[in-house]
Amino acid sequence: MSKEGVVFDFSYRKSGEVTPAKALAYRIDPVTRRIIEVIKPRTHEFENILRATVKALLKQNKKFPTNKDVFVLIEHGLHATHDFEECDVDNRAKTILDALKNAVYQDDKQVSVLWTCKKFLRSQQESYFTISICILNVVKRQQIMRMMKCVDV
């Protein structure tokens, strides 16, 4: 699995589905009086299904879940004009990153490089999302930083 010369350790593509945005709402717990994040049920269900699917796919892969830093590439292909125009890639990425906890990595703070994009699909009839993961070492990190024209600090 390779894109722009980067060899990925894992890739997954799901057709026919648009990633829900991680739009958080807050409320005060009536008992504890603490502020609680409220995630839409659809988003929560999406995360659980994606986590279970990825865990099952990686069951025999001893690299995962990794405790190393990772590069995550997320691509959203959207065929509906409304979905494309309203797509907030950072909130959709957060949904996927949270779903990958304990399947791909221990915690999303291990995501050292995140590249997320959206594409308008003029000729396709169904949307998709693709997730690609690269476990980083010094050489891979430098390769990715050169590809993205970033300076590795």
Does a structural domain hold residue 152?
A: no
pTM over 0.85: no
Q: 65, exposed or middle or buried, with CB in 10 Å at 0-12, 13-18, 19+?
A: middle
For 58, the domain range is 2-147
Q: What is the DSSP letter of 12?
A: E
Find the CATH number of the domain harbouring 83: 3.30.1330.70
Q: What is the distance in angstroms between the CA of the first residue and the CA of the last residue of the chain?
A: 27
Number of domains in the chain: 1
Does a structural domain hold residue 153?
A: no
Percent of the chain whose predicted confidence (pLDDT) is above 90: 48
Residue 2's pLDDT band (cuts 50, 70, 90): very low
Task: Say how far apart CA 59 and CA 119 lie, in whole Å.
Answer: 31
Q: How far is CA 95 from CA 18, 50, 67, 121, in A?
A: 11, 10, 20, 22
Does a structural domain hold residue 96?
A: yes
Helices and strands per DSSP (H, E), number in the chain: 4, 8
Task: Say how far apart CA 129 and CA 126 lie, in whole Å.
Answer: 10
- Per residue in 55-91, pLDDT (tens digit) is 999 999 999 999 999 999 999 988 888 788 877 888 8
Task: Say how far apart CA 101 and CA 104 lie, in whole Å.
Answer: 6
Tell me: pLDDT of 152 over 50: no
Please identify which residue in the block is written with the tokens 């995630």. Answer: 39
Q: What's 46-88 look like in SS3?
A: HHHHHHHHHHHHCCCCCCCCECCCEEEEEEEEECCHHHHHHCC
- Per residue in 19-40, pLDDT (tens digit) is 888 866 778 888 998 888 777 7
Kindly report which listed range (5-9, 60-64, 102-106) carries the lowest average pLDDT score. 5-9
**SS3 label, residue 149:** coil
